[in-house]
Amino acid sequence: MIVIDATVLTNFVVSDEMFLLDEFCGDQGILTREVVEGFHQGVKKGLWKTANVEKWEQVERESFQEEVLYQHLSRSLGVGEASSLAIAVERKHDLLSDDQLVRDIAHRCGIRVSGSLGVLIEAMGRKKITYQAGNWMLHDLLEHGFQAPINKLEELKI
């Protein structure tokens, strides 16, 4: 399973490229209740348009260990990131996040992590999009506030 956190979800919603996230996750994507609630609050505030996030399973913390880890993580992370990371760690799921602190913690816990750039690279590797389209999408993400160590996908030398 792949836990999708708020950073990646909203990046693909605001850039109008949800189909790439759909393709990447397929039926393996899951969202925490906190991410779904935060997403819908953002829609109500006009921060982004609505999207069909209900296609992915919505999960909640089920174990004592998940709750303890969530409480600990929520001291330094937002509730969406904390809930996503707690679920990924305790259930040994992959994680999609663009939050550097979340990624660092996940790596230390042995969780496989990717993010918005990884989704774009995978789409290019599967020939779902061209380099040109990938660069256009990266530019769109950057225009909507995404922070990346690159400005063009060619800089990755893939």
- Closest to 9 in 3D by CA, of 41, 47, 45, 51: 51
Please name the helix (run of DSSP H) or strand (run of DSSP E) that holds residue 113, with its range, or none. Answer: strand 113-114
Asked whether the whole model's pTM tops 0.85, one would answer yes
Cα angle 3, 6, 7 (rounded to 5 degrees) comes to 105
- Domain spans of the chain, in order of start: 2-117
CA distance 13 to 104: 24
Contact call for residues 83 and 33 (beta carbons, < 8 A): yes
Q: What is the pLDDT of residues 18-69, one digit of tens each?
A: 999 999 999 999 999 999 999 999 999 998 888 888 889 999 999 999 999 9
Residues 6 or more apart whose CB falls under 8 angstroms from that of 26 comprise: none
State residue 140's pLDDT score. 86
Taking 70 as the threshold, does the pLDDT of residue 109 lie above it? yes
Second CATH level (architecture) for the domain 2-117: 3-Layer(aba) Sandwich (3.40)
